[in-house]
Amino acid sequence: MKIYKFLENPFWYNLIIRLFSFFKRTDNLNSFLDLIFSKECKGCVLEIGSGTCQFNALYEKWLPRYFATDINVDYLKYAKETTENTIFIVSDSQLLPFNPYSFDSIFALFMFHHLSDECVQLTLQEIDLCLKNGGTFIVMDVFLPDKWFDLTAFIAGKIDRGRHVRKRSHFLSLCAQKNLFQWREIAFKESWPYDMSAFIFKKAKS
């Protein structure tokens, strides 16, 4: 949608995030992510679709250094001015420029609802290639609600900048088609107006 075109500028993108955070309680979300990071930020870590690295402060608590990729070079230039421990690489999630089995953990936070089904599957294949055997892949994203009468979350999903907000079952079916990972869901309930979930995927050891 053309109305969202201005969000490709990192200044406006970051401003909208801050305004949204002002009207919405984010402490619970940050605490929730911090708990996941504390358990899963070990070894060599990659974030894909990192945007302006809005969660960098949480990563910094647990990592001396990590890798961040995004397709928008302006986002990464903006993030570079406010971070110290991040290695930035401009990259499409469907063609990650890393050697096989490079990472212990890979994070994708609020990225997949911007990708079509085909792009999701190509991205999952790249993640599988870059992730070590026994490694962890963490997804947090917004989803269409399972209950039809949850109109607020349904409308929020439909008008979101990401044009591919889908149901959890649809996303998991895409993940299951290649049979790459085992998974478990951790629901995040205090996410109004969105319906969010985090999924912890484990790559099987060979």
Determine the pLDDT at residue 9. 59
Do the beta carbons of residue 80 and residue 137 sit within 8 Å?
no
Q: What is the pLDDT of residues 109-159, one digit of tens each?
A: 999 999 999 999 999 999 999 999 999 999 999 898 887 767 777 776 676
Give the SS3 label for residue 75. helix
Alpha-carbon 204 to chain mean position: 21
Does this model's pTM top 0.75? My answer is yes
Q: Residue 31: which pLDDT band, with cuts at 50, 70 and 90? A: confident
Q: What span, in angstroms and rounded, lies between the C-alpha atoms of 55 and 34?
A: 9
Alpha-carbon torsion angle 156, 75, 1, 22, nearest 10: 30
pLDDT digits (tens, 9 = 90+) for 194-204: 788 999 999 98
What kind of fold does domain 2-91+100-203 have according to CATH? Rossmann fold (3.40.50)
**In this structure, are residues 121 and 143 in contact, taking their beta carbons and an 8 Å threshold?**
no
Nearest-CA neighbor of 111 among 171, 67, 153, 169? 171
The strand pair at 103-109 and 131-143 is best described as: parallel
The tokens describing 31, both together, are: 């605490």
